[in-house]
Chains A and B, each alone.
Chain A
Amino acid sequence: MSPGVEYYCPCQASTPHPPQPNLASSSYSFHALHNLYFCEECDAIRCNHCVMVEVSGYYCPNCLFEVPSASVRAEKTRYQSCARNCFMCPSCSNTLTVVPSDPPDNGDERIPPTINAAGEPPFFLYCNHCRWDSAEVGITFEKPTGLAAQLQKFEDSAPESLEFERLKEHFEPYLRASPSTSGNGLHTHSPHMNPITAAASSALARDIPGVARYMPHALSRSRSGRDKNANRQEVPDYRARVEIGAITTGYALGGGAEPDVEFMRHLETVEEVATLDQRWGNSWVTSPRSIDLKPLRIPLHSKKSKRCPTCRHILIKPEQKAQSVRYKIKLVAANYLPAITVSLPHMQAALAMLRRSGRANAEPQDGTMLAGKTYPFHLSFQNPLYDPIQVRLHVQRAIPPTQPNAPETEKARRPPFAITLPTQAFPIAAFAEAWEYDDDEDMFGLEGEGEGEDEDFDAHGPKDSRGKSRTVGVLERRANVTMIGGEVMISKEARGDMKFNMLVSYTYRSDDPEPEEPSTPSRSQAQHKQPEMKTFSFYTVVDLGTIIVRDTSSVDLDS
């Protein structure tokens, strides 16, 4: 895995400190930055696990027709797919087009057949990609419009859907009556059971046509339950329209019965069997033969808006129109938190060398490190805010640091590897649009600070025999990106993934001035003043790759 940084959302934990990144369960708490939202009201990161999702509109992905949510809700199953002319090819899942039939062939090659613009009456669906057409499965239309409605008639007359309709009809009066009877706690065998679950369980325990009665206990129980509730509205026995046996053994394939076996025995090529992908979207049992595949409705897509779970403010809200890809409200974390990318200079050098020599990368693969060595790494921070920020980093130890200003001291207690990062805060310049960069006035720098940091580090940093080139500290600053260097020292017995939690706190100038400060000084003056500064901290996990173990001789050489 290539090195990367993921951000922590504290929604799943009770403590503000993230779990150890090496735990398998920790991956649920860390997310890529582009998946996160930021609630301005709560001043907190929100992830897809904790936001509240609501559907703000349905549309067909093919024709971009917006289906009113009321009709989607009313027609529960039927119109969750596009009710217009959109169909999907069952063979290659391309969209199908409606085409007219060929005019009658006059047999003469020389005279081009007269093709009338409206087309010949039997229309059918045609796939431009794999040239599947619906006439192969006997689906043709008289008109080129309203195909779904025309097809609906066929679908409604299918035995399975008739059966389902009847089932719904059968249970509907009972379901409607249930809320009224739920108050009388007369249920004998289970007082916690509400009538709907009772109905479901009794329906499940009922004698299913075609299935042998091998559950005498369940049957008797449900019967006794029924007898005790005399005042409860009773569900009469449902009699199936078609016996289940008739479907499987009679005419249809796909029930897993004899015809299927027979068909599989006489296969000649694999293509004769429809793939699972092709059959997956169907509601009913379908034939396994690929020549029997029917055109598929295109399911509707929805646009969703998301809310903060605590303050219920909208975090992201798309525009209503299906054609638009814009958002009315968009509070994504990428606009608030500095984007961190991690890179390993030694890997890039190795890759460059490999590329130059033209060899396949037989040596250390992407994202691997050798145990017992020390590697530098680079973290580059990109500031999305329009104000410069000061960033301070802390590496989380095995025990979450109680006083976060001295992470270096307990290095010895961290067995597999030790991370060295600059402890001092470093600045990142403000984000500016491209046209603001014509002169360098924004690029005020705090040069000389890096030197001090280096000194600071050598005091308690790793005593490296290779001298202290600028591997730790601020390496590069340009525009709104600051690159800092860190160092990781891997012990010899280290194994597994090199991941560590890093607390990033950044100080920024808050947009809304403090209420007790009515006379705000001018902006340029306020930039480095205390009262208007706010600090926000968040945890990230930095993944530097996997540690691979080399044989001991070479490790000894290196160390």
Chain B
Amino acid sequence: MPPASRDRFTIHSKAVVCQDVDMKGDITIGAGTIVHPKATIFAASGPIVIGSGCIIEEGAIVLNRRKEVMRIGDDNLFEIGCRVECPMANFNTICTRARIHYTTRLSSYCVVGAGCLVVATEEEILDEYTVIYGPGAERRIWSGRGRLQEADLRKKHAEYLREMLP
């Protein structure tokens, strides 16, 4: 971790933040969160607070462009190469190379599919269980069936990573 003068990192002792993670600004990372190498967390304007049990994979970019605190809840999954500039609640999945603009806000259990681009022209809060998928970033509401299994899988995923990552 590159210590910088104005940077202030608060990382829980049970969180795993790998080497080679690019972090800048005021960042708080909660318990059990895993940040893979080559991930980027930029608190450019305001601070970023990441909850517990999140997984931030390689090449993911978490960026706060705003002044206020960007709160990311618990058990979110940021897959490889995604770019997130928005706050969110719990259990969201941002798939590979998806991009979410800062005008959007996610509630819980949302899924942004691979390669989807979510740019809201005005402030927008995605409902719970919103699924964005496909090349046209179509939306639908997930029924929520299979949610517990997915939560279980997410927990196992995080546990495995905690054991395996250096």
Contact of B148 among A91, A103, A131, A132 (CB under 8 A): A103
The verdict on A130 contacting B113 (CB below 8 Å), with A103-B148, A115-B152 known, is yes
B152 touches A271 (CB 8 A): no
Q: A124 at interface (Cβ–Cβ under 8 A)?
A: yes
Q: Pick the interface stretch among B16-24, B26-34, B35-43, B139-147.
A: B139-147
Provide the residues of chain A in CB contact with B146, threshold 8 Å. Answer: 99, 101-102, 126, 133
What residue of chain A has the Cβ atom nearest to residue B150's Cβ? Answer: A102
Question: Per DSSP, are chain A's interface residues mostly helix, strand or loop, or mixed?
Answer: loop
Query: Number of contacts between A and B (CB, 8 Å)?
Result: 52
A133 touches B143 (CB 8 A): yes
What residue of chain A has the Cβ atom nearest to residue B129's Cβ? Answer: A131
B145 touches A102 (CB 8 A): yes
* Interface hits, B78-116 → A, CB 8 Å: 111, 113
Fill in one digit per residue for A86-97: 1 if any B CB lies within 8 Å of its CB, else 0.
000001100000
Fill in one digit per residue for A122-148: 1 if any B CB lies within 8 Å of its CB, else 0.
001010011111011000000000000
Fill in one digit per residue for A357-399: 1 if any B CB lies within 8 Å of its CB, else 0.
0000000000000000000000000000000000000000000
Fill in one digit per residue for B128-166: 1 if any A CB lies within 8 Å of its CB, else 0.
000101100011101101111101100100000000000
Among B111, B146, B152, max chain A CB count under 10 A is at B146
What residue of chain A has the Cβ atom nearest to residue B95's Cβ? Answer: A129
Nearest CB of chain B from residue A100's CB, rounded to whole Å:
8
Contact of B143 among A92, A135, A271 (CB under 8 A): A135
Provide the residues of chain B in CB contact with A126, threshold 8 Å. Answer: 145-146
Number of interface residues of A (CB under 8 A): 21
Provide the residues of chain A in CB contact with B133, threshold 8 Å. Answer: 92, 129-131
Among B139, B142, B148, B151, max chain A CB count under 10 A is at B148
Contact of B140 among A100, A102, A130 (CB under 8 A): A130
Q: A105 at interface (Cβ–Cβ under 8 A)?
A: yes
Q: A112 at interface (Cβ–Cβ under 8 A)?
A: yes
Provide the residues of chain B in CB contact with A68, threshold 8 Å. Answer: none
The verdict on A130 contacting B131 (CB below 8 Å), with A115-B152, A271-B138 known, is yes
B113 touches A133 (CB 8 A): no
CA distance A131 to B145 in the complex (A): 9
* Interface hits, A263-278 → B, CB 8 Å: 271
Contact of B134 among A92, A101, A124, A133 (CB under 8 A): A92
Number of interface residues of B (CB under 8 A): 18
Contact of B145 among A112, A124, A130, A271 (CB under 8 A): A124
B149 touches A99 (CB 8 A): yes
Nearest CB of chain B from residue A182's CB, rounded to whole Å:
54
Q: A113 at interface (Cβ–Cβ under 8 A)?
A: yes
A131 touches B149 (CB 8 A): no
Contact of A112 among B140, B142, B143, B152 (CB under 8 A): B152
Nearest CB of chain A from residue B6's CB, rounded to whole Å:
37
CA distance A113 to B131 in the complex (A): 24
Nearest CB of chain A from residue B96's CB, rounded to whole Å:
12
Nearest CB of chain A from residue B153's CB, rounded to whole Å:
9
A130 touches B138 (CB 8 A): yes
Provide the residues of chain B in CB contact with A91, threshold 8 Å. Answer: 140
A131 touches B152 (CB 8 A): no
B-side residues, CB < 8 A to A, are: 111, 113, 131, 133-134, 138-140, 142-143, 145-149, 151-152, 155
A113-B148, A131-B140, A136-B143 known; 12 new pairs, CB 8 Å cut-off, are: A99-B149, A100-B149, A101-B145, A102-B149, A112-B155, A115-B148, A130-B133, A131-B111, A131-B131, A135-B143, A135-B145, A271-B140
